[in-house]
Amino acid sequence: MGMRYLVGEDHAGLPAMAYIGLRYGIAGLIYVPFLWRARHWRAADWRLGVLCGIIGIAGYNLPSALGQRTVAAGMTGLLNGAEPLMIVIIAATLRRRLPGAWTLLAGAIGLAGIILLAHGSGPALGDPIGIALILTGALAWSVYCVMVPKLINARGALSVTAVTMCVGALPLLAAGAPAAPALLHAMTGFQWAITAALVLGTSVISMLCWNTGCAALGAERAGWFLYLLPLVSLIGGAAILAEPITATEICGGGLILLSVFLSQR
């Protein structure tokens, strides 16, 4: 929601590429001191870490930021709801084995819950290009989730997060560099406050927590928790912004919780 507010054409309208470069450039700087922990990595580890950084950080965030200029928050949540199923499909393809019945059932229930939440949040608007960009980002994140656990289990979550964040921030900074001066001049104090929350909350702390959990649970089991993102946003909007919760959204939230429960069995 914060990204949608800052880069959406009908909201703050900040240049998307410059903003995402700023956000992840700051996050990368925070992680620079921890690159020291990767000093003994083998060449194969570095190749995998660089690839994960490009796919998971740049590959996800750049198309997602561009897509959110024209895609409503409800539609964005609906499209990102495909990530757990994408992770299951990618992992099953690599293993050359079909997902189990419980997995398919959990996926179907969770997706139904996402659809109800998106419907309850208002018109799910978006143009075809924006929708394609959001889905491209979702696919990149799903690939990252399948690739990174092996490296984390071998080298530790902190060092892997530092490498992937710093590597992934570089193409984002390069893409946003032309519009960066205008962005810095235009940003207000309130927009900087939102940026600080996004950097620390979703780019620094959450990324480290996700990598740790993803390695411990495996990509497929961890992926189901992505269904909780729109549910948390719904609860936060009600608790902090006094936004009403409809019966449709309550049903959608219940289905999401059920899908996560089934996926962990």
Instruction: In whole angstroms, give the CA distance from residue 38 to residue 155.
Output: 8
* Tokens describing residue 113: 């819950």
Range with lowest mean pLDDT among 6-10, 88-92, 106-110, 111-115: 6-10
Q: Which residue has the higher pLDDT, 4 or 208?
A: 208
Q: Which residue has the higher pLDDT, 212 or 263?
A: 212
Q: Which pLDDT band, with edges at 50, 70 and 90, does 57 fall under?
A: very high
pLDDT on residue 250: 74
pTM for the complete prediction?
0.81
Give 121's DSSP letter.
T
146 and 91 Cβ atoms separated by less than 8 Å:
yes
pLDDT in tens, 211-229: 999 888 888 788 777 777 6
pLDDT on residue 141: 94
Instruction: In whole angstroms, give the CA distance from residue 167 to residue 143.
Output: 17
| Mean predicted confidence (pLDDT) in 136-154 | 94
pLDDT on residue 148: 94
Range with lowest mean pLDDT among 13-22, 32-41, 93-102: 93-102
Kindly provide the b/e burial profile for residues 212-251, where b requires at least 16 CB atoms within 10 angstroms of the residue's own CB.
bbbbeeebbbbbbbbbbebbebbeebeeeeeeeeeeebee
pLDDT on residue 226: 76
| Mean predicted confidence (pLDDT) in 147-163 | 95
pLDDT on residue 247: 77
Nearest Cα to Cα of residue 159 among 59, 41, 43: 41
Handedness of CA 224, 227, 232, 238 (dihedral sign): negative
| Mean predicted confidence (pLDDT) in 76-86 | 76
pLDDT on residue 231: 66
| Mean predicted confidence (pLDDT) in 5-25 | 76
pLDDT on residue 251: 81
